[in-house]
Every structure is written in structure tokens, then in C-alpha cells.
Amino acid sequence: MSGLLTRRPALRWVAPGAALAVVATGSQIAAHWPADAATNLPPRTAQQLLVDLQRAQPSALSGTVKATSSLGLPQLPESVTSGTGNSSPLALLAGSHTAKVWYDGKTSARVALLGDGSETDLVSNGGGLWLWQSADKSVLHVPAPSGGTQRSTDHDKDPQLPAELSTPEGVASWALRMLDPSTAVTTSSNERIAGRAAYQLVLTPKTAGTKIGSVRISIDAANQTPLRAQVFAKGASNPAINVGFTSIDYGKQPASRFDFTPPPGAKVTQATPHPGKPKSGDASAATTNGSATPPKVVGKDWASVVVGKLPPKQTVAKDDSSLQQALRLLPEASGSWGRGHLLNTALFTAVITDDGRYAVGAVPASSLYAALGRS
Amino acid sequence: MRFLLSELRLIAGRRRNQAGLLVLIAMPVLLAVAVRLTEDNPRGGGPPGFIDQIVGNGVFVAFAALTFEITIFFPLAISMISGDAIAGEAHSGTLRYLLTVPAGRVRVLIVKYLGIVAGSVVAALSVAIVGAAVGAAIFGTGPLLTLSGTQIPLGTGLGRLALSALYVALGLCALGAVGLFLSTLTEQPIAATVALMVVTSAMWVLDAIPQLSALHPWLLVDRWPAFADLMRDPADYAAVTEGILVDLGYIVVFLLAAWARFAGKDITS
């Protein structure tokens, strides 16, 4: 052996080469191992899957969610996006992000969005809603409405609803009928996601006027927890938006996981919720105090376009210069509808005209121009 | 064993290594003093790492120092030691005496690498210990604020600091394996040192280019700052585990490469 190596010293290089090959192939096998495992599930129709979804009892879980969006937007270097903190919701629009999720099966949940050396936590518990951002040590607290803390995730059974909707089967067939004119609902080959066998529900728009090719939702075969959602652009083989669990554990979660006490030194902001609406305060606030005309919807279903006018106040706001700069990066477009800048992504397009009108939709740019011209 | 002890004594006795260690442990001291002097305006430049939290708890000086030094200072120290390891001996003409003493080449290589490992561990641990001590003396301690906005007791926090330091040390050991291989390629220690620094800087640059994200998991430095994940609540070991696997992969491949090169090399000086 050693004699061979003395005669042919070059043979020694086989050792590091082989080690490199083992490391490379080993890591690839490890990365793809769970996905390649076969799934043997009894076939189920789209309607049966919808019924399953209705019947599903929310189960306590913890897991890691990975969201990847490749909308065709230019990817900015990390140093540019880190100005806003790369775990901030704004930065979610591009690239790939990881979050940890805990849910107790009832009302308490915690979502931790992981950034490089930073974290944004959203905690929902009996005391309301807490938003923690480690980048500036700020806490936003939305207290629970005084009426009671139980916020049922199930649909409230409204007596006005037709009797059909009181059973899961009824809701499923109703949903299918509602979707039917615009959307084909089918199932696709079963998959293994985060180590769990899963059914796949595919929603395909029937109209040609949209950029969305299909929406795929994967559902855990054992307990009907949605495991992954993907949005494909028309003709694309890779999803433009992919949100799914990379690992998931079902089981009881410790109650302490959902506790949140603002740490000393944190800036705490109290928000007063709208009565009966415990979350998403700013969305409703923007529409109520904006002097802008309410946006209109042109077109229908998948091909609908939202057309509106930016509030005039906003166009002279102080931080407008950055918005203007961002706008200038976008290609210009003009036509009979006016002049403006066009944001064209794989899934949706948006136009902001120079006189403050906008149009957004999951449609080709030409449909936006038509909608702008008509309004 | 005696061979290893004499090698360690040799590394520790070199003036340049002593000065290097001094520079390394001066960084957390400098950091703590600088934050202390500007305490009125703690949110000055920007949000890098753990600096904001130093004022609240001195132990974060250690975390901030590890974060800073991992980019340049630690790799520089390892480059220096690994440059001396084989190329330094060859340059000063002592390598052949080392081999004429009945010490096999494999044994020389192992002892040289253990010397680098010792250097890595000493560098990372002393920065962590000095940082925590200086920070505690200047700012005081108490429960640590995690990235998740919760607090963990001081003991747990110190445990996670120790884990972070050891994780950094393992990353430096992997870099040292690359350095040992480069050191067998040349007889100029400065060439080996510069080459390892070039490799390190190139990996940091590649790691910062998002278009090359497919390459990032293969870069040694990509997971190095992942020890920050240990300061989440609960601690997130996913990225650290990946980092450890990458480190071990580099160690195995480059130690074998160093052996392949060194065992068959003609020692002329």
C-alpha cells in the first residue's frame, strides 16, 4: 500500500477527491431525501378535499415555514434592504424568508420571522396582539376587544345562511359552484411536504386574461392542515410564490411560548383597535381617512383590475422623494390613457400615472391600460 | 505528545502571535469603551448586531465582538498561524530537521493542525471571556434580552455565549485546515498567509452577492454569523447545525488534500 503510494504519489489525491465527492453527494441526498419518498394515498376528488378542509379540527403545531417569491423583480443586495431590517414585512416582497410558527390549536399563536441577527415576532394570545421588532426594540400592542377573548376561527353560523351551508359537504359543493364559472378545481399528484404525505388541490383560472397560471394548495392527508401554497405564473414550471412548511411537528405547545411581556427598555406603542376588529388597523384606517375616491374594480374574477386615485396628500408627503426615486427606476409607459410608470412582475402588473391614478391586477399590462382608459 | 507540547509552546512563544492575541482581545475592550462614551446616543450609526443591547447588558459586548472579529480579525490570526505551520518551517530551513527526527510526515501534519486548532479555540474563547468580563464590569449584567423579545437568565445566556464561541472556533478550525493545505503548497509563509486571506475575503464577497445564492451553502463563511440564532427564544439550531456540517466537510477535504500534498512532497529546505 505505502509502496504503491511512494511509487505513484499522485494517487494520494484520490483521497481528498473522494472525500469531496462523498460530501457533495451526501449533502444532496440529505437535502432531497424526504421529498423523494413515495406517497401512497387513497385517491380523493377535489370536492372530498374541500369537505375534509371544512371538517378539519385545527391542531396544535410548531414548524418552520419558508416563503420564496421570484416575481421577476431585481434582487437587491442585502445591504440595501437591511436599511428597513431584513426581517421587516416590507422586505418580504423579494427573495426567500424563513419563519417559525407555533399554534396551540385554539386562539394563541406565535410567528417569528427570522432575519440576519434580527427577528420580528407576532404573538396572539389572551392579552391581545403583540408585534415585536428586535431591530429597533419596538413593541406594538393591540389589546383584545373587551367583549371577550375567544375569537373563533370557525365560521360563525349565521341563521340567515341557506341551510345548504350548515354542513361541510354543502359548503364544499357551494364553493365549487361559486368557483366553477371562472376556475377549474382539480387534484394533482400527491406529494410529500415537510415529511408528511399531502394531497394537492389545484385551482386553474379558466380565463386567458390573467397572468396567474394556477394556484396549488397542499393539504396534510392525516389531519387536513394546509402545508404549502404555490402560485404559478402562466406557462411557468417554477412557482412565483411558494409558501410552505419545511418542517412541522404536531403536538401540544407549552403555554409559555405564547406569553409576551415587553422587555425593559423596549418602546411600547398601544394601539386602540376598532370595535369588533382586533387586527389590521392600518388597512381600514387608510381607507377611512383618505380623501381619495374609493378604488373601482374593472373586469371580473381572475382578470379584475383595481383602478383608483392616490390621495393627494400622499403625493406631497415628505418621504415622497424616495417614492419618486423608486418610481423613476420603473420603465415609463404611455398611451391614450396617459403617461406613467409600469411595474411588471411575473404575477401582477401595476401602473402609476403621472397624475396620481393607479391600476393593479394579475393581468397583462395592456388590460391595465384598457381599464385606465375606461375609468 | 511532547512534540505537540513543544509545538504549542512555539506558537504561544512567537511575539507576533502574542501581539495578534492582544489585538483580538483589545477589540471588545475598545467596543465597550466606545459604547460607554456615546451612551447618550446609543442608536448612532445603524443596527449592526448586538451593539444596541450592550447598554442594557454587558454580556452582549462578547457577542458584538465575536460578530465583528469574525469577518477579518479571526481569519487574519488563523492565516498567520497556518502560514507559519509548514511554509514557515520550510522557509527557515527547519522543516527537514523536523522530519529527520523520527517523526513521520503524517505526525508532523497532525501536530501542526492541532496547533492551529488550539490557536482557534484560544482566540475565540479569549475574545468571548474578555468581552463578557469587560462588558459586565462597565455595564453590569442581568437577564439577557433575546432576539425574540423575551428574557433568559444570565446562566443560560452565558451558556449560549460559550456555545457561540465554540461554534466560531470550529469555523476557524475549518479555515485552518484550508490554511494548512495552502501552507504545504509554498515555502513562503507570507504567501500562504496572504492566500488564505484572499480565500476568506473572496468567500465573503461571494456570500454578499444574492445572485450567487445557489453557491452560498458551499461557502465556508456563509453560516459563520449563524451563532446569532442561538440568541433566539427558543434557540434555533438549524443554521448552526448546517454550519457545523460545512465546517467538518472543509476540515476532512482539506486535511486530506494537505496530506496528499505533504506526504509526497520533496523537502528541499
Domain spans, chain B: 2-263
Q: Do A85 and B47 touch (CB under 8 A)?
A: yes
Grid cell listed for B96 = 527537514
Question: Longest C-alpha distance within chain A, in Å?
Answer: 91
Q: CB distance from B212 to chain A under 8 Å?
A: no
Long-range contact set of residues A123-127: C-beta below 8 Å, sequence gap at least 24: A123/A258, A123/A260, A124/A258, A125/A258, A125/A259, A125/A260, A127/A260
How far is A107 from A152, CA to CA, in rounded Å?
Answer: 7
Q: Chain A residue with minimal CA distance to B55?
A: A265
Contact yes or no for A9 and B208 at CB 8 A: no
Task: Using CB atoms within 10 Å of the CB of residue B190, give its burial: 0 to 12 exposed, 13 to 18 middle, 19+ buried.
Answer: middle
Beta bridge partners of A63: A101, A248
Cell numbers at B249, concatenated: 466537510
Query: What are the extents of the domains in chain A?
Result: 2-36, 46-146+180-270, 291-374
Is it the case that residue A310 has pLDDT exceeding 90? no
Question: B224 in contact with A at a CB cutoff of 8 Å?
Answer: no
Residues of A with CB under 8 A from a CB of B: 5, 9-10, 12-13, 15-16, 19-20, 23, 27, 64, 75-79, 82, 85, 95-96, 100, 112, 114, 116-119, 121, 132, 134-137, 139, 259-266
Closest residue by Cα to residue B161 from B136, B182, B192: B136
CA-to-CA dists, residue A126 to A106, A108, A203, A255, angstroms: 11, 7, 36, 11
Q: Nearest Cβ partner of B145 from A96, A112, A263?
A: A263
Per-residue pLDDT of chain B (269 residues; tens, 9 = 90+): 788 888 899 888 889 999 999 999 999 999 898 888 877 655 544 445 677 777 778 888 999 999 989 999 999 999 999 999 999 888 888 888 777 776 788 888 999 999 999 999 999 999 999 999 999 999 888 888 888 888 889 999 999 999 999 999 999 999 999 999 999 999 899 999 999 999 999 999 999 887 888 899 999 999 999 998 998 888 889 899 999 999 999 999 999 999 999 887 777 66
* pLDDT tens, position by position, B217-241: 999 999 999 998 998 888 889 899 9
How far B81 CA lies from chain A's nearest CA (Å)?
23
Q: Measured at the alpha carbon of residue A233, what is the angle toward residues A114 and A207, in degrees to the nearest 5?
A: 135
Distance CA A242, CA A346 (A): 13
- Chain A residues inside the 8 Å CB shell of B252: 19, 23
Counted across chains A and B, CB pairs separated by less than 8 A come out at: 91
C-alpha span between B231 and B50 (Å, rounded):
10
Fold of A46-146+180-270: outer membrane lipoprotein receptor (LolB), chain A (2.50.20)
Residue B263 forms contact with A (CB below 8 Å): yes
Interface probe for B, chosen from A11, A23, A29 (most Cβ of B below 10 Å), is: A23
From the CA of B144, how many Å to the nearest CA of chain A?
10
Using CA atoms, how far apart are residues B197 and B191, in angstroms rounded to an integer? 10
